Structure 1
Amino acid sequence: MSSNKRQYKCKNNPNKFCYVCGEYIFVTPPNFTSTLQSAYRLYFYISPENLGESWTPNVLCNTCKTGLTMWMTGAKRYLSFDVPTIWRQPMCHEVDCYFCLTKIKQHGRHKTVEYAHVNSMSKPVPHSLSVKYPVCPKKNIVNRQNQVIMPNEKSELLASRLQERNLLKSQVKVTFYRSRQKYYAQYYIKKNNVCYCNDIYGLFKEFGEPYDPTEWRLFIDSN
């Protein structure tokens, strides 16, 4: 995100408006972090543009932040629009600046907002029933993994990468049953509740070690 200073001062601070929905933010706004930018890109299939410009907000409202964050975790949480706010550089502050022409009125402890209609800013397009909600990338990856025969080790690695990107809930645990003992179990036998090795030579061969029957000691496991 660019840290360029704004070249002019609008009547209303641009960073009091949400980059996604364009609405005025009454509380301290959260920053449009790289994680939220990735969620924005995946949700709307477009990249956030002109961040850091003097005529573009660099923050989100809590509603949009929560919606994108919950959607990325796989929850059935969606925004109320299919197309976000599109920001363009205004031609003139007096007739084409969204931040200058939007009126914020103070009524005692409360504020009301009268939003401007300008060419430099396209407002969000409300969700249409004819348009399907976007599918969370986590669900896409998991569904694909279910359709493809994938070794357990790679499945575990995939899940680990999902956790690194905060695409899995914190309480999710990833495990699979390991059967490394199957190569050695054939050299053991259980009889009358006693388990013992009945093929010491084969076991040593499995270990890749030479077997010398003169070198041995009695070992009893009392567990």
Structure 2
Amino acid sequence: MTSESAVCKNHPDSFCYVCGEYVSAAFKKPISEVHKKAYLAYFGFGICDQNKQWVPHFLCKNCHLGLLKWFNDCGGGLNFAKPLIWREPHDHNVDCYFCLTRIDGATGKVEYANVMSVTQPVANRTPVNTQPISYSAPSPVRVKYIETHLILPNELDLLISGLNLSERSAEILVKTFQEWKILAPFPGFHRRKVAQVM
């Protein structure tokens, strides 16, 4: 999508980078360095493509407060284990989240697009993603669904103790799982639980 957001029906900055929800101007917060650090600590990977026009550059009030409260050990957290993942759309009529999301200005009702250019957030209490992805394309498309399981803190503890790993081996295992992005992000887990294991 070379002309990027200039032709989108809804501007990308009208949506939250983390959850993908529509955000009115009064409730959106620009992504800051603190947000980037909190996001990285919470999800295990960083905010990407902020130099691109096809991703939002703001957070909604709930994601802003949830991330910052969690990051500052004041409670908080989010309702999902994985955030919305953005990919560059290639066709405004088929896979552009911003063009295909319908916002009724009179009622405020929002009908979010279910397109291939985004992967929807995964709920905190559901570490296995089995939700099918629907895609309306001009020609038939086959999509392979793969179930993934994120390793929970208690499972990691059982694995490390069951394998009778040394402190150094446990540290290597945890770092490898973090790189593979297979550890379920639970508030406090990345900073406290892993620190205890290491």
**Following the alignment from structure 2 to structure 1, what is the Cα–Cα distance between the partners of residues 67 and 51?**
21
**Following the alignment from structure 2 to structure 1, what is the Cα–Cα distance between the partners of residues 51 and 57?**
6
**Counterpart pick for 1:17 among 12, 15, 18:** 15
2:123 is the counterpart of 1:123: no
Q: Aligned with 1:100: secondary structure?
A: helix
Instruction: Specify whether residues 26 and 94 from structure 1 end up closer, same or farther in structure 2 by C-alpha distance, changes over 3 A only.
Output: same
User: Contact 2:5 / 2:12 at 8 angstroms: preserved in 1?
Assistant: no
Q: Aligned with 1:18: secondary structure?
A: coil
Q: How many residues in Structure 1 have an aligned counterpart in Structure 2?
A: 138
1:95-134 to 2 correspondence within 5 Å? 95-107=94-106, 110-128=107-125, 131-132=152-153, 133-134=186-187
Instruction: Specify whether residues 140 and 125 from structure 1 end up closer, same or farther in structure 2 by C-alpha distance, changes over 3 A only.
Output: closer
**Following the alignment from structure 1 to structure 2, what is the Cα–Cα distance between the partners of residues 30 and 129?**
28
**Following the alignment from structure 2 to structure 1, what is the Cα–Cα distance between the partners of residues 71 and 124?**
19
**Following the alignment from structure 2 to structure 1, what is the Cα–Cα distance between the partners of residues 90 and 9?**
16
**Following the alignment from structure 2 to structure 1, what is the Cα–Cα distance between the partners of residues 104 and 5?**
26
The answer for the alignment partner of 1:49 in structure 2 is 48
Q: Name the structure, 1 or 2, with higher relative contact order (CA <8 Å, separation 6+).
A: 2
Give the superposition deviation at 1:49. Answer: 1.1
Instruction: Specify whether residues 126 and 118 from structure 1 end up closer, same or farther in structure 2 by C-alpha distance, changes over 3 A only.
Output: same
* Letter of the 2:188 counterpart: V
User: Contact 2:15 / 2:59 at 8 angstroms: preserved in 1?
Assistant: yes
User: Contact 2:103 / 2:111 at 8 angstroms: preserved in 1?
Assistant: yes
Structural RMSD (CA): 2.5
Structure 1 unaligned residues grouped into runs of 5+ = 145-223
1:27-176 to 2 correspondence within 5 Å? 27-28=25-26, 29-107=28-106, 110-128=107-125, 131-132=152-153, 133-135=186-188, 139=192
Q: Aligned with 1:24: secondary structure?
A: coil
**Following the alignment from structure 1 to structure 2, what is the Cα–Cα distance between the partners of residues 50 and 136?**
26
Structure 2 unaligned residues grouped into runs of 5+ = 128-151, 154-185
> What percent of counterpart residues are identical?
36
TM-score (ref. length: structure 1): 0.56
**Following the alignment from structure 1 to structure 2, what is the Cα–Cα distance between the partners of residues 33 and 65?**
10
